Amino acid sequence: MLAAFILVGGSAGDVLGRRRVFMTGISLFLTGSLSAGLAPDAGLLIGARVVQGIGGALMIPGSLSIITAFFSEDRRGRAIGTWAAVTAAVTVFGPLVGGALAQAGLWRAVFLVNIPIGIVALLVLYYRVPESRDEDSDRRIDYPGALLVAVGLACVTYGFLSAPASGFNHPRVSVTLTAGFICLALFIVVEMKSSRPHLPAFRCDAGVSLALGRQTGRQDRRQAADHYRHAGDGGGASADVHHRRHQRPF
């Protein structure tokens, strides 16, 4: 779920408000953590982990964008450095602490320890962090693109995680991977045609390439016309030199 919804989480923050989406992600993550810590069986534990993944996907993209919007330019570098250092430390020591707790028979504490940390984070966000969003956005979400990328990433992630145990030739793995890649290919097509894409680079690159191609074509036609006009006027070799001098590499 984390991989499936992380792109959607970033787009939602730009449109709906980064603080709002970030707080929603924390709330979902806390709900999943509490449910996982109190889960009586494996089925409910897996369901709680799904909720945690969705919450994490809403949090991760917004963390750095909130820092960028909140801190002034002279303090931003230090803030981003602190964010990167804390993220690296949690990535390294989190699994070690979680493994030690699980080995000691306290696996529920791995999830319940998130509750007080999350509550403090919600209070800080609510009272100290102003709302921010992408002002250039038209306040709408590309729902077809969101559905395609979520399903595509979920299928591809599940397929690759299942492949080591079942093999790529297993029908479940091959069908899941094929469906995932088809959804991602359709997502790219939708993004290129959407007026509010999740990945503006697709539309921007296509538009810029088309505009540059048209401009270059007009320049080439003008240069060719100038060249032959000079040649027709008896310019000869000087016309060819003039043409080469005025050529511009794309």
Q: What is the per-residue pLDDT across 108-154, written as a single tens digit (0 to 9) for each?
A: 999 999 999 999 999 999 999 888 887 766 667 778 888 898 899 88
Q: What token pair was written down for 238?
A: 């000087």
- Tell whether 40 is covered by a domain: yes
Instruction: List CB contacts of 48: < 8 A, sequence separation 6 or more.
Output: 32, 33, 35, 36, 39, 111
Query: Is the CA virtual torsion 197, 201, 204, 206 positive or negative?
Result: negative
Same domain membership, residue 124 and residue 210: no
Is the pTM higher than 0.85? The answer reads: no
* pLDDT per residue as tens digits for the range 135-148: 766 667 778 888 89
pLDDT at 221: 44
Q: Both 131 and 223 in a single domain?
A: no
Q: What is the pLDDT of residue 137?
A: 64
Same domain, 118 and 41: yes
Does 143 reside within a domain?
Answer: no
Residue 149 lies in a domain: no
Cα 116–chain centre separation: 28
Q: Is residue 101 part of a domain?
A: yes
Q: Which of 136-150, 179-193, 201-215 has the highest mean pLDDT?
A: 179-193
The last residue of a domain, from among 78, 101, 136: 136
Q: What is the pLDDT of residue 39?
A: 92
The yes-or-no verdict on residue 227 having pLDDT over 70 is no
Of the candidates 136, 160, 182, which is a domain's last residue? 136
- The highest-confidence range among 87-91, 142-146, 174-178, by mean pLDDT, is 174-178
Q: How confident is the model at residue 212 (pLDDT cuts 50, 70, 90)?
A: very low
- Mean pLDDT is highest, among 61-65, 170-174, 208-212, for 170-174
Q: How far apart are CA 67 and CA 232, in angstroms?
A: 64
Q: What local confidence, expressed as pLDDT, does residue 198 receive?
A: 66
What mean pLDDT comes out for the span 76-99? 90
Whether 210 and 132 map to the same domain: the answer is no
The last residue of one of the domains, among 117, 136, 155, is 136
- Does 155 map to a domain? no
Tell which wins on pLDDT, 156 or 14.
156
Residue 146, in any domain of the structure: no
Structurally, the chain folds into a number of domains equal to 2
CB distance 202 to 188 below 8 Å: yes
Q: Show the domain range for 213.
A: 203-245
Q: What is the pLDDT at residue 66?
A: 87
DSSP conformation letters of 112-180 = HTHHHHHHHHHHHHHHH------TTS-S---HHHHHHHHHHHHHHHHHHHHHHHH-TTSHHHHHHHHHH
Q: Is the pLDDT of residue 246 over 80?
A: no
